[in-house]
Structure 1
């Protein structure tokens, strides 16, 4: 039995879950609404403030979908009630971020500014005053994480001087640079 799949998901106050035909799940809460289609074989039940996921058999495919379905449902419930955030830092001389309208504009040592638009209206950027750090927040965990990875990919941290965009708390191992010549001619 899946250790993750068998755990019930507690519903916070003001969060409602509805399961339609074919396992189209709609989760609504104070921050917004999320919809997702799940495997029609999975059994999703909403009862007395909890969501329970079970599988019809012990087939390999059903075992694989059991924990995945429960984890995705838990992420949806957390997203509409609390939300998800990802914080990134910018290091390097002249590197900075600014917010223009809803978009994020980065100056990270390229010949042009790099601009990122939020993939959905519920994804929001917040930039610090000094422009050295910013936060991505939204209700969809996958959208927030994917956007953070794309932004980090615009200028990943390099191992010699540590310049670039990194997640908050990310450790970048520093390499030693070239050493001077020591041999005789």
Structure 2
């Protein structure tokens, strides 16, 4: 399946890397020698070099990665986290996220370049960026400060995450 390149997105393909430039920034990814990438009339096609299983698998992987790059520079990606617990608060201060999640001290997370963090309310965190992998990694690192516990459900969780609550021990 070819990847459609929308208007306003520039794709540069060299022997070593693919560069996608759009309104939200520029993303660069190394190419794989098992995959041939061609830009034909605004559509990117990915064909395996030979008939091996590795080349076939890598062509699908490269297609998905480049499709995410094109999507990222046009629309961007975002992850939403919720804080559940008494006194749990989050506050965005520029490129820093200040969390109070039940420790004796506040937890401060520095955001890398290209990632924006917002807190619409004190218990919601929005992590936005153009690189899907980095957005997901930062969201996982923030969640790891206080993952949801199974007895009361307190902690930092993804907005679409379901936490199954265990029953407490009976006498």
How high is the TM-score relative to the length of structure 2? 0.97
Distance in structure 2 (CA, Å) of the matches to 1:15 and 1:128: 30
Q: How many residues align?
A: 171
2:76–2:128 Cα contact (<8 Å) kept: yes
Equivalent of residue 161 in structure 1, options 146, 149, 152: 152
Distance in structure 2 (CA, Å) of the matches to 1:146 and 1:58: 34
Q: Which residue of 1 aligns with 2:133?
A: 142
Tell me which stretches of 4 or more aligned residues in structure 1 moved more than 6 Å: none
In structure 2, list runs of 5 or more residues that go unmatched: none
Instruction: Specify the SS of the correspondent of 1:135.
Output: strand
Q: Which residue of 1 aligns with 2:167?
A: 176
1:99 Cα deviation from its structure 2 partner: 1.2
Q: Which residue of 2 aligns with 1:107?
A: 100
Q: Which residue of 2 aligns with 1:20?
A: 14
1:94 Cα deviation from its structure 2 partner: 0.4
Instruction: Specify the SS of the correspondent of 2:144.
Output: helix
Equivalent of residue 120 in structure 2, options 118, 122, 128: 128
1:60 Cα deviation from its structure 2 partner: 2.2
1:96 Cα deviation from its structure 2 partner: 0.7
Distance in structure 2 (CA, Å) of the matches to 1:86 and 1:99: 15
Q: Which residue of 1 aligns with 2:57?
A: 64
2:36–2:46 Cα contact (<8 Å) kept: yes
How high is the TM-score relative to the length of structure 1? 0.90
Larger Rg: 1
